[in-house]
Amino acid sequence: MKSRIIGLLVFASLIAAFAFIVSTPAAANHGNALPAATAQPAPAAAVPAAEPHPEIREALGALRRAKEHMEHAAHDFGGHRVEAIEATNQAIRQLELCLKFDKD
């Protein structure tokens, strides 16, 4: 029973993190667009590169903040703090792997 509750807590945490990612609209990338008045492209240093996968990076930050909160909390979240921290670590590792193996 306890492992089922922990599993549901972990699952709900991951769903909440990914729901945040999905609900955040992606910004249009106009960094590569040339001005209409110029025929020559701008130097490479002048065109800002778009950050790859900002939603995943934002989710990583949110998970790291949640982990820090759990680590420094005054209570143990009904005995689930240690396992929730472990699940958060696993989610962080998976997202880091996603970024590492990105082919874009």
Q: Is residue 34 part of a domain?
A: no
Q: Is residue 12 part of a domain?
A: yes
Q: How confident is the model at residue 91 (pLDDT cuts 50, 70, 90)?
A: very high
- The tens digit of pLDDT for each residue in 17-52 reads 666 565 555 555 554 455 555 555 555 555 566 678
With a cut of 80, say whether residue 62 has pLDDT above it: yes
Q: Are 31 and 49 a contacting pair, CB within 8 Å? A: yes
Q: Is residue 77 part of a domain?
A: yes
Q: Is residue 69 part of a domain?
A: yes
Q: What DSSP letter does each residue of 22-54 carry, written as one string?
A: HHSPPPP--TTPPPTT-SSPPPGGGSPPPPS-H
What global pTM score does this model have?
A: 0.52
Tell me what pLDDT residue 41 has. 55
Q: Give how many domains the chain has, as a whole number.
A: 1
Q: Is residue 43 part of a domain?
A: no
- The mean per-residue pLDDT over the stretch 93-104 comes to 86
First and final CA of the chain: distance in angstroms?
43
The range of the structural domain enclosing residue 66 comes to 2-25+52-100
